[in-house]
Structure 1
Amino acid sequence: MANYRIPKEITTELKINKALYLFDLIFMIALLVIAMVLGKVVHSSLEIPFYIFMGLIGVISIIRPHTNPQKRMYQAIFIAFSRKKDTYCSIDIPEDETEGKINHG
């Protein structure tokens, strides 16, 4: 009878090294392919600046903002643009953080 190992969780991202995840590498490769395809329609004198620009866009897109380290920058930008601007929600502060900080006068 075969013995199969079932992972306990599957949501953890695969890390290649200290700062690079597998998704980031695939994202950068896909962006490079898109840049190479679009590079054919860019004027020949602007090809190198175009590739530098696309590289910067790729690096900035995969950076994780320190305010929300679970998301990447492109996800944070998408959420910011797609949310409803006229909808607000309260931010609850736990009581143990507000204790002693309330100024009544």
Structure 2
Amino acid sequence: EAAALDGCTGLARVRYITLPLLRNVLCTCLVLAITGALKVFDLPWVMFGAGMPQDQGWLTGTYMYDQTFNRGNVDYGSTIAMLIVILGVILSNVANRVFRPSDDL
């Protein structure tokens, strides 16, 4: 309300007041979205099952499951699982650094 009384436009209020206050919420949602996207398994597996379209590509979770349980390649499946974890940690750190508050305030 104070910004509106000072003559601030709607877009400026969103840019300078609303988004900085939502920084932590946006960062948390982004990290959860990244980790959720990397480990998605249930919906594609229910939709396609063992008949995943191999020529169109795999998701990380379904590819790991197929390698481990359908093809019996447990070592390769566990390597993919470790890759999913490492990739999730790296992308989450990048998201945290992007949303880190600046020191110029």
Rg larger for: 1
Question: What TM bracket, shorter-length normalisation?
Answer: 0.3 to 0.5
Bigger RCO (CA 8 Å, 6+ sep): 2
TM-score in terms of structure 1 length:
0.39
Q: TM-score, normalised by structure 2?
A: 0.39
